[in-house]
Amino acid sequence: MDRKSVMKRRLQSIVIIFVSMAIFIVIWWALSIYFDLNYFPPPDVVFEAFFDSFVTPDPNLGITMGQNIEASFARFLEGFALAFVIAIPLGLLMGFMPWVDTFAKPIVELIRPIPPIAWVPFFFVAFGSFWNPVLTVFIGVFFPLLTNVVLGVKSVDPSLLDAARTQGAGRLTLFTKVIMPFSVPYLMTGVTIGMGVGWMCIVAAEWIAAVGGGVGYYILVQQQVGNYPYMFAGMIVIAILGLLTVTLSGYAEKMIRKRMGML
Amino acid sequence: MILTIENLIKSFPKKEGVMVAIQDFNLEVKEGEFVCILGPSGCGKTTLLRIIAGLESITSGKLLLKDKPIIGPGSDRGMVFQEFALFPWRSVRKNVEFGLEIKKVPPTERAAISERFIELVGLKGFENYHPNQLSGGMKQRVGIARALANDPALLLMDEPFGALDAQTRNLMQKELLRIWLETQKTVIFITHSVDEACYLADRIVVMTSRPGTIKEIFNVTIPRPRDRASVEFAQLRKTILAELEREVVSAPIARDNSEANV
**Cα A171 to Cα A183: distance, rounded to the nearest angstrom:** 16
**Mean pLDDT in residue range A109-122:** 94
Residue of B nearest to A180 (CA): B89
Both A28 and A51 in one domain: the answer is no
Per-residue model confidence (pLDDT) at position B254 = 47
Å between A10 CA and nearest CA of chain B: 27
What is the distance in angstroms between the Cα of A58 and the nearest Cα belonging to chain B?
Answer: 50
Query: Is A158 near chain B, with CB under 8 Å?
Result: no
Which of B50, B99, B130 is closest, CB to CB, to A167? B99
- Element (H or E) spanning B154, and its range? strand B154-158
Cis ω before B225 (30° cut-off from 0): yes
| A121 phi/psi in degrees, rounded to 5 | -60, -40
- Regarding whether A2 and A90 lie in a shared domain, the answer is no
For residues A182 and A111, membership in a common domain is answered with yes
What confidence score (pLDDT) does residue B262 get?
35
DSSP B24-85: EEEEEE-TT-EEEEE--TTSSHHHHHHHHHTSS--SEEEEEETTEE--S--TTEEEE-TT--
Of the CA atoms within 13 Å of residue B83, those in its CB half-sphere come to 10
Higher pLDDT residue, B245 or B179?
Answer: B179
Q: Cβ of B216: how many Cβ atoms within 10 Å?
A: 15
B74 inside 8 A of chain A by CB: yes
B83 touches chain A (CB under 8 A): yes
The number of domains in chain A is: 2
> In the A/B pair of chains, how many CB contacts fall below 8 A?
71
What pLDDT is recorded for position B261?
Answer: 38
- Burial tier of B24 (Cβ tally within 10 Å: 0-12, 13-18, 19+): middle
- Percent of chain B at pLDDT above 90? 82
pLDDT in tens, B54-93: 999 999 999 999 999 999 999 999 999 999 999 999 999 9
- Residue A100 sits in the same domain as residue A76: yes
Query: Least CB-CB distance to A168: which of B50, B102, B130?
Result: B102
DSSP H or E stretch at residue A251: helix A228-259
Nearest-by-Cβ selection for B83 from A159, A184, A263: A159
The verdict on A159 touching B (C-beta cutoff 8 Å) is: yes
Test A169 with B102 for CB contact under 8 angstroms.
yes
DSSP structural state of residue B241? H
Amino acid at A14: I
Residues of B in contact with A159 (CB under 8 A): 81, 83, 85
Note the pLDDT tens digit of each residue in B11-58.
998 888 888 899 999 999 999 999 999 988 878 899 999 999 999 999
Out of B74, B85, B89, the one facing A168 most closely (by C-beta) is: B74
Does residue B183 register a pLDDT over 90? yes
Domain that holds residue A21: 1-36
Contacts of B236 (CB under 8 A, 6+ apart): B198, B218, B220, B222
Contact of A196 with chain B, judged by CB distance below 8 Å, is answered with no
Contacts of A235 (CB under 8 A, 6+ apart): A219
* B256 in contact with chain A, both atoms CB, cutoff 8 A: no
Name the strands in the sheet holding B68-69, side by side, starting at the edge strand that comes first in the sequence.
B18-29, B3-13, B60-65, B68-69
> What's the confidence (pLDDT) of residue A212?
82
Contact call for A167 and B150, based on CB within 8 A: yes
A218 and A164 within one domain: yes
In this prediction, residue B250 has a pLDDT band, given cuts at 50, 70 and 90, of low
Average pLDDT over residues A239-245: 94
| Residue B248: per-residue pLDDT | 67
Chain B CB within 8 Å of residue A178 CB: yes
pLDDT digits (tens, 9 = 90+) for A37-72: 889 999 999 999 999 999 999 998 899 999 999 999
CB–CB of A168 and B87 under 8 A?
A: no
Q: Residue A31's pLDDT is what?
A: 95
- Say yes or no: A106 and A21 in one domain: no
Choose among B78, B87, B89: nearest Cβ to A166. B78
What pLDDT sits at residue A1? 61
**Could you tell me if B177 and B184 are in contact, meaning their C-beta atoms sit under 8 angstroms apart?**
no
Chain B contact present for A256, CB below 8 A? no
Q: Does A169 contact B at CB distance below 8 Å? A: yes
Q: Is the pLDDT of residue B156 over 70?
A: yes
CB contact under 8 A, A263 and B99: no
Amino acid identity of residue B83, one-letter, is: E
Question: What are the distances in angstroms from CA A112 to CA A109, A143, B104, B219?
Answer: 5, 7, 43, 64
- Which chain B residues are within 8 Å of A263, Cβ to Cβ? 132
> Is residue A42 less than 8 Å (CB to CB) from chain B?
no
Residues A224 and A150 in one domain: yes
Distance between CA atoms of A21 and A29, rounded to whole angstroms?
12
CATH of the domain at A146: 1.10.3720.10
A116: DSSP letter: H
- On whether the CB atoms of residues A83 and A194 are closer than 8 A, the answer is yes
Same domain for A57 and A28? no
Please check whether residue B223 is in contact with residue B87, taking contact to mean a CB–CB distance below 8 angstroms.
no
| Residue B243 pLDDT | 86
Task: Identify the closest residue of chain B to A173 by CA–CA distance.
Answer: B102
Looking at residue A202, its pLDDT comes to: 92
Segment B192-221, tens digit of pLDDT: 999 999 999 999 999 988 788 899 999 999
For residues A195 and A113, membership in a common domain is answered with: yes
Give the pLDDT of residue A262: 87
Q: A255 with A130, same domain?
A: yes
Rounded CA-CA distance B1/A251 in Å is 57
- Whether A31 and A48 share a structural domain: no
List all residues 6 or more positions away from B124 whose beta carbon is below 8 Å from its beta carbon: B118
Instruction: Classify residue B21 as left (phi > 0), alpha (psi -120 to 50) or beta.
Output: alpha
B/e letters for B143-156, b = 16+ CB within 10 Å, e = fewer, are bbbbbbbbebbbbb
The Cα of A30 is separated from the nearest Cα of chain B by a number of Å equal to: 53
Rg of chain A on CA atoms, in Å:
23
Chain A environment of B78 (Cβ under 8 Å):
166-167
The whole-number pLDDT of residue B249 equals 66
- Report the residue count for chain B: 262
Q: What share of chain A is helix, strand, coil (3-state, %, to 5)?
A: 85, 0, 15
* Cα–Cα nearest to B132, from A258, A26, A196, A141: A258
Q: Which residue of B has its CA nearest to A158?
A: B85
**Crossing angle between the packed helical segments A215-224 and A180-208, to the nearest 10 degrees:** 20
- Give pLDDT, residue A173: 94
- Note the pLDDT of residue A138: 96
Pair A143, A248 in one domain: yes
pLDDT of residue B252: 52
Residue B255 has pLDDT above 70, yes or no: no
Q: Which residues contact B170 (CB under 8 A, 6 or more apart)?
A: none
Lowest average pLDDT, out of A173-182, A234-243, B7-16, B183-192, goes to: B7-16
Phi and psi at B187, nearest 5°, equal -120, 130
- The 3 state secondary structure assigned to B56-68 is CCCCEEEEEECCE
**Cross-chain residue pair A166–B146, CB shorter than 8 Å:** no
Residues of chain A with Cβ-Cβ distance to B75 below 8 Å are 166-168
pLDDT in tens, A137-196: 999 999 999 999 999 999 999 999 999 999 999 999 999 999 999 999 999 999 999 999
Given a contact cutoff of 8 angstroms between Cβ atoms, the answer to whether B118 and B127 are in contact is: yes
Which chain A residues are within 8 Å of B50, Cβ to Cβ? 162
Percentage of the residues of chain B whose pLDDT score is greater than 70: 94
Does B87 contact A159 at a Cβ distance shorter than 8 Å? no
In terms of Cα–Cα distance, which of A67, A69, A40, A96 is closest to A226?
A: A40
Instruction: Give the global pTM.
Output: 0.87
Share of chain A above pLDDT 90, in %: 89
* Residues 95-154 (B) with a CB less than 8 A from some CB of A: 98-99, 101-103, 130-133, 146-147, 150
pLDDT at B15 (0 to 100): 86
Report the DSSP beta bridge partners of residue B218.
B204
Confidence band (pLDDT; 50, 70, 90) for B112? very high
The predicted-structure confidence for A208-225, as pLDDT tens digits, reads as follows: 877 888 999 999 999 999
